Amino acid sequence: MDASYTEVVPFESSSPAWRGLKDVTFGSAAGMVSKVFEHPFDLCKVRLQSQVMDKTPRFSGPIDCLTQTWQKEGLRGLYRGLPAPIVGAMTENAFLFLAYNELQNTIRQWNNISPSTQLSLGQLMIAAAGAGSVASFLLTPIELVKCKMQVQMLAAEPASVLASRTGATISGRPAIHNLQGPFSIISSTIRQHGFRGLWLGQTGTLIRETGGGAAWFGSNEAVSSILLDRLARKTGRPRAELTKKDLKWYQLAFAGACAGVAYNLALFPADSVKSAVQTEEELRPGTRTSIGSMAMKMWRKEGVKGFYAGCGITVARAAPSNAMIFLIYDGLNTRFG
């Protein structure tokens, strides 16, 4: 395959300030819409990941998890913790697209590459990895709050089981108004562990976002380039004249879906360990395990299988969710860029 690939936003298309504003706005819109669609599946993923260290798993699989959540918590339960992920998705996508495009410009300047010259796939993946690594520092506190909120109802189950054995009249389902909200979780985390506590699981997020960012953008660029090559052969137009703006909406969606699948398959174990660490305090009070130690515990208990709990449903929702992200971002960029 040819080593040259199309970039997201042409370097010379606008001023840096206007480019940055577009990336932030379009990325935020794409992230917000996709997160509303995928949140119930993300909640299921986190709950499946958090039970790996349990003696007796609460759920037999993703369908059982979704069914139990619906029966016990209703629609509100499926969207528990949604505000934090929406903020996170808007922040993540806005910053990723902004950093990705600006790092491309930096690579051009560093290597004296003209603005009209397409970067190679390797150069694009370097820019993507850099964008993902920096974005991880913004995402960790947001994901910490999200994960804690998503397992709050599960944290009450051991107490309810104990109550049923002792005959106490304690409800196994705490009232929704008694559950902590995002600001309460942030406040309690800072009180107990200081500001540093908000970055619990940073190592896992860093690994996931660095490698995942390269896989995410790299896959999207590769598939888009293949589609543009086919379009050039079909229409007889010079390949150099074609950009993503020449692709149909369903082609943009397909490239985005491939990117989502690649992102989640590439570094899923890192995400599993991160989720287990971030929810440990709620599900197993009095314990606090490092990323490395948690990985070893999960390996000893479940082997490879433990690192991929919830992977199936995550990949299944990743395709349509990421198709939305790139379709919205590239569509807005075509319309207003």
Stated pTM of the model = 0.76
Burial label for 291, CB within 10 Å (0-12, 13-18, 19+), is buried
pLDDT tens digits, residue range 181-196? Answer: 788 889 999 999 999 9
Which pLDDT band holds residue 157 (cuts at 50, 70, 90)? low
pLDDT tens digits, residue range 83-108? Answer: 777 887 888 888 899 999 999 999 99
User: What 3-state DSSP class applies to 285?
Assistant: coil
**Greater model confidence, 286 or 329:** 329
Q: How far is CA 212 from CA 28, 130, 186, 222, in A?
A: 19, 11, 27, 15
pLDDT tens digits, residue range 220-274? Answer: 999 999 999 999 999 999 988 898 889 999 999 999 999 999 998 888 999 999 9
> For the chain, where are the alpha helices, taking DSSP H only?
16-50, 62-78, 83-110, 121-150, 152-155, 157-166, 182-193, 202-235, 249-266, 268-283, 291-302, 304-307, 311-336
140 within 8 A of 199, measured Cβ to Cβ: yes
Residue with tokens 């995002």: 182
Determine which of 157-166, 213-222, 265-274 has the lowest per-residue pLDDT on average.
157-166
Report the DSSP beta bridge partners of residue 4: 120
d(CA 17, CA 96): 16
Which pLDDT band holds residue 163 (cuts at 50, 70, 90)? very low
Burial label for 63, CB within 10 Å (0-12, 13-18, 19+), is exposed
Residue with tokens 């039970």: 51
With a pLDDT cut of 90, the percent of the chain lying above it is 38
User: What 3-state DSSP class applies to 297?
Assistant: helix
Which pLDDT band holds residue 179 (cuts at 50, 70, 90)? low
